[in-house]
Amino acid sequence: MKILVVDDDRVVADLVMFTVRRAGYEAVMASDAVSTLRRWQEYQPDLIILDINLPGTTQLNDGFAICQYIRRQSDVPIILLTVRGEENDIVRGLEAGADDYVLKPFSPRQLIARVQAVLRRGRTAEGSHPSAKLSIDGLEFNPKLRYVSLTNGETKTLTSLESRLLEYLMLNAGHILTTNDLVSDVWGASGGNSEMLRQLVRRLRSKIEDDPTKPFYIQNFPGLGYAFRLKR
């Protein structure tokens, strides 16, 4: 898996490069619009991590323009890097065709989780088929229609937040996701806190009939966070 990292701030770019390489990905970097487009064509990355605040002198070479330009010609996943507090950038970026975003400052672990999630989503959920499902260990989950099918045959519909949480957990199954990661993924820029997460986990668990004392799916790691269990 090859990643193209685009950031004009050398420090941030180095950090991102280091992080994704440590996670086992190949990566190259670019720092301006021209080199980004050249590297994108030569290198053919599987994913682009793009700082939306590229110092575009005009509207032709800032982050949004690049995002839009690339999106028109390819469906390579694009993750935006945006500064916390600039929600407009997020909206504009997603409209320009980005797949996800990460708020700066970010934790390495969080960045990797997003990268894996986006890559996996691209592989499994190809297109927007309403029947696209996530299925792990007998738990079948349809993110589009927001319902789960349990092993006993029951199906239950999830709320919007429950669905976000379960999708994030399942897309990163087997990895521990910290409370911060989960909160910032589920609630995004609107902001949540750990208490809200606890309640959400509780409600989701009760819907999928997961006993917290002997969790089958959603396991707590005290002081760290939660993980969707893989093969036990």
Stretch binding DNA (CB under 7 A), from 4-12, 53-61, 130-138, 221-229 = 221-229
Between the CA of residue 13 and those of 32, 35, 79, 89, what are the distances in Å?
A: 12, 14, 14, 19
Which window, 116-124, 125-133, 194-202, 204-212, contacts a second copy (CB under 8 A)? 125-133
- Rounded to an integer, what distance in angstroms lies between the CA atom of residue 25 and that of residue 114? 13
Nearer to DNA, 41 or 194 (CB): 194
Q: Which of positions 136-175 make contact with DNA (CB under 7 A)?
A: 157, 159-162
- Binding positions for a second copy, 149-208, rule CB under 8 A: 155, 157, 159-160, 174-176
Beta strand ranges found along the chain (DSSP E): 2-6, 26-30, 47-51, 78-83, 100-104, 134-136, 139-142, 147-149, 155-157, 177-178, 218-221, 225-228
Tokens of 84: 């916390």
Which residues, including other chains, have CB under 8 Å from residue 121's CB and lie 6 or more apart?
77, 99, 171
Q: Which residues contact 222 (CB under 8 A, 6 or more apart)?
A: none
202 binds DNA (CB under 7 A): yes
For residue 86, the minimal CB distance to DNA (Å) is 20
Rounded Cα distance between 67 and 50, Å, is 8
Question: With binding defined as CB under 7 A, does residue 91 bind DNA?
Answer: no
Q: Does 14 bind a second copy (CB under 8 A)?
A: yes
* Candidate list 189, 196, 209, 216; residue touching DNA; CB under 7 A: 196
In angstroms and rounded to an integer, the radius of gyration of the C-alpha atoms of the chain is: 18
User: What is the contact surface with a second copy in residues (CB under 8 A)?
Assistant: 14-15, 17-18, 22-24, 71-73, 75, 109, 127-128, 130-131, 144-146, 155, 157, 159-160, 174-176, 221-224, 227, 232
User: What is the contact surface with DNA in residues (CB under 7 A)?
Assistant: 157, 159-162, 179, 187, 192-196, 198-203, 205, 212-213, 220-225
